[in-house]
Structure 1
């Protein structure tokens, strides 16, 4: 959980820099003040959707919130296959940001690897925006509001990210996919 401890002070700094209380931030994000406090404490997993909401609300780049470094490219950003910026925010998913060098992004592209797990171990999340998934390898179960959908290599799925969703690899194998959050 070390990564949460690195991100938490940046969340506090952004909020305090704007001059908002925990309660004001919670109200603007549509979450409880308790959740904001938990995320800012660095003791609880911080969902990427929450970080994206904070970055949009506070007009701070997501890369800056996650890494503490500013993206610098404004015309284009080429990320080679071995260069994706690892976003260590969940112990069971491997996130690689594919747009981390580009300043002022309007979408967040990720290369994600999700391991197989039992259906009982799937944890739902939701966040503002829309999401696009394109499966590159394996078979992915996506639960949208409890409804299971099977997405295979070459298939894509576009959905409202406010719909509670959970993911897992199937067939005892990892699944690799592109995930774009708008």
Structure 2
């Protein structure tokens, strides 16, 4: 009995990954064909595993889904697996570290927010935000709600609602934040306070 080549397992997973990506992006075969220039029948055969993926087909698909080619095909990690995090100073004096490696619909950040020392200025923008308090106490003003969250608490909201968040007690607060530009929900909700 012949043993399949080691890369065969990676190739076998491309078809289900392509189907899953198209479903996650809410695209029809026709819309994807228009975006990539690849015919609907070829896309269908790629997603069913009836056609082997080639670089000339995968490159436009990676571009349409805004993912790296390695991520699209599920290539195994090679070399140094460490993610090099680069802190970025925020205008409010805090620090943000992007935890997401590739641009996409969902972005992850770790943030350290100092005491802003001013009254909240509520803002709105497109998207959906989820945050988790790691350390400290976070004040979240969301429309008519004024909440204080502690370590281990979670909140999520549509960012079209007026909102602001910062330190609740004059000390820095550390959070993890997931932000979706198209407003996708993260399906975790904070417990209501008693």
For normalisation by structure 2, the TM-score amounts to: 0.49
1:133 to 121, 131, 134: 131
Larger-gyration structure (1/2): 2
- Greater helix percent: which structure? 1
1:163 to 161, 185, 188: 161
- The answer to whether the 8 A contact 2:127-2:158 is kept is yes
CA distance in 2, matches of 1:91, 1:73: 36
1:117 and 1:89, CA in 2 relative to 1: closer, same or farther beyond 3 A?
closer
1:73 and 1:105, CA in 2 relative to 1: closer, same or farther beyond 3 A?
farther
Query: Which residue of structure 1 aligns with residue 178 of structure 2?
Result: 180
1:72 and 1:146, CA in 2 relative to 1: closer, same or farther beyond 3 A?
farther
- The answer to whether the 8 A contact 1:135-1:153 is kept is yes
Query: Which residue of structure 2 aligns with residue 96 of structure 1?
Result: 97
Q: Please, which runs of 5 or more residues in structure 2 have no aligned partner?
A: 1-63, 181-194
Structure 1 residues 23-42: aligned runs within 5 Å: none
CA distance in 2, matches of 1:119, 1:147: 18
- The answer to whether the 8 A contact 2:132-2:153 is kept is yes
Q: Offset at 1:128? A: 0.9
For normalisation by structure 1, the TM-score amounts to: 0.52
Q: Please, which runs of 5 or more residues in structure 1 have no aligned partner?
A: 1-58, 62-69
